[in-house]
Structure 1
């Protein structure tokens, strides 16, 4: 295989504003905020960058427009060592755009989907990686429709897979997503997503149900760490203390850390600890990729705790 990891899904610029007031000043009023940055966004793109930063040979396949925003995304991925030769450049539909409004411990995310909904399995060429990760299931309905059959095909070829659905803007949490989960080897939701998918408020019950529906279920819990359900029971690790500047993309950096551990042959607990460290350290700067750690940084960080 040419790559350790192929990441499939969304890439877009993120305009990240911090210190945003809870009540926006409508009525054409201007309000100053603490900081602003334009960074690479999209769950898949952030995961790919994090994985490359950790030393995995990583490729990205997605869809961007033939515009300034699309070129920004591709350049940012290349700069971080991610192969983008499999990315489709759409001549007719613009690149997705996201504005992230951060205030206190919460944030609002506004996305114009652009060409994201047009990505489909047939856009992805022959897979030359030993593992495929897919992000943002609900933003890409054509890709989602073909995912169960594609995952089953990859499994038959000896290629492992993982899935992070991310949020469902419709709030319905349907559309055949459980069929895709059933065909994946590793499912990586956050706690809110796990609860929404299983219609339960209990995170342990949610993790158990998701593991029963598919393969290994790994639930991201932010400051509370992470929880996996494997071999009939829970495996949990605590969160790493952090004073976050920006939590955008922390879950995607967690994904990268878990996959780096898993593909590197680490056990489940060690992979969870690596993932939690990656998620926490990624919050040191604005945007999803600016503070993603290397393995050396993680080793240094863990040795001091």
Structure 2
């Protein structure tokens, strides 16, 4: 029996930065202050964060039969994540991501998708869905095959008594295609977008309008409206809003947290660590307001080192920071 099954992407991340000038081509070489090779992928980082918080975690997905795939498996195992359901694809390569950071916390992400497009519902063993308390899926738009299977997978998990969550992450195509999203949200207990994603998802699902590529509605009020619109489709909507904290909306009540102040080294994976904190707190029986506080702490503390996993907090460390903020 597992506390958490995570479904989705796993890959090595090469993180370089901060870049203090525009990226130069024409074979120019630019120097940056730091670089790191670390475990990446929204689902993998979330799984590691949850294991660090004390949950029994299994991972389902697909990697290639290559050095990058072996690195991913070893990194997950080293952090206490069960990888029996991490399938090896003999024909496709493991995804690879390069993250370029710059001062101010912004970053560019370049990904070679490898096995992502081939990942599907068959990569998630049904016995795992029946043997877990919660199922989390990530990177919805990166894995179209898995996205199509997701409503059925989550429905099966719920039929066995599990709760479910989804972090769609960004849409690299910028289309925010709504087809299939409503069916997924109907089987999702907790939706975990960031502010940018929440606005786009809400607009995309609004049948009276069309997706807007601009982010002109940047006020807190519009973010509340987007969260409320998404919550009306069923899930508890938990929105990460960077330095401004986070909020959650259940369709009736809005809850907010300002989070904690840290001096970030690297924000890669902070949202995934936030997801881990919220799910772990919810499984521990905490109400949404308390879970939101703990999740914000987990996201903030994860930024203390380069990469998504090295600085993820333990449960006791996260709770201590929440308690300290309340005094």
**Which TM bucket (shorter chain)?**
over 0.9
Matched, 1:53 2:52: yes
Matched, 1:287 2:291: no
Residue 264 (structure 1) shift: 0.7
Residue 303 (structure 1) shift: 3.9
Distance 2:163 2:321 in 1: 30
Distance 2:86 2:101 in 1: 30
RMSD over aligned Cα atoms:
1.2
Residue 156 (structure 1) shift: 2.2
Distance 1:231 1:64 in 2: 38
CA contact (8 A) 2:236 2:251 kept: no
Q: Where does residue 175 of structure 2 map in the other structure?
A: 172
Q: Where does residue 140 of structure 1 map in the other structure?
A: 143
Q: Where does residue 74 of structure 2 map in the other structure?
A: 75
SS of alignment partner, residue 232 of structure 2? helix
1:155 is matched with which residue: 144, 150, 158? Answer: 158
Structure 1 runs of 4+ off > 4 angstroms? Answer: none
**Aligned pairs, number:** 304
Distance 1:167 1:22 in 2: 25
1:196 is matched with which residue: 200, 224, 241? Answer: 200
Matched, 1:222 2:242: yes
Q: Where does residue 117 of structure 2 map in the other structure?
A: 117
CA contact (8 A) 2:294 2:319 kept: no
TM-score of the two chains, using structure 2 as the length reference: 0.91
Residue 176 (structure 1) shift: 1.7
Residue 301 (structure 1) shift: 2.6
Of 233-242 and 88-97, more deviation after overlay is shown by 233-242
Superimposed CA distance per residue, residues 194-225 of structure 1 (whole angstroms, 9 cap, x where no aligned partner): 00111283101100011001221111111111
Residue 30 (structure 1) shift: 1.0
Superimposed CA distance per residue, residues 218-258 of structure 1 (whole angstroms, 9 cap, x where no aligned partner): 11111111111125121111121111000000000000000
- Superposed, 1:10-21 pairs within 5 Å as 10-21=9-20
Q: Any gaps of 5 or more consecutive residues in structure 1?
A: none
Matched, 1:87 2:107: no
Matched, 1:211 2:215: no
Matched, 1:262 2:282: yes
TM-score of the two chains, using structure 1 as the length reference: 0.97
1:129 is matched with which residue: 129, 132, 145? Answer: 132
Of 20-29 and 209-218, more deviation after overlay is shown by 20-29
SS of alignment partner, residue 86 of structure 1? strand
Q: Any gaps of 5 or more consecutive residues in structure 2?
A: 204-211
Residue 149 (structure 1) shift: 2.2
CA contact (8 A) 2:6 2:43 kept: yes
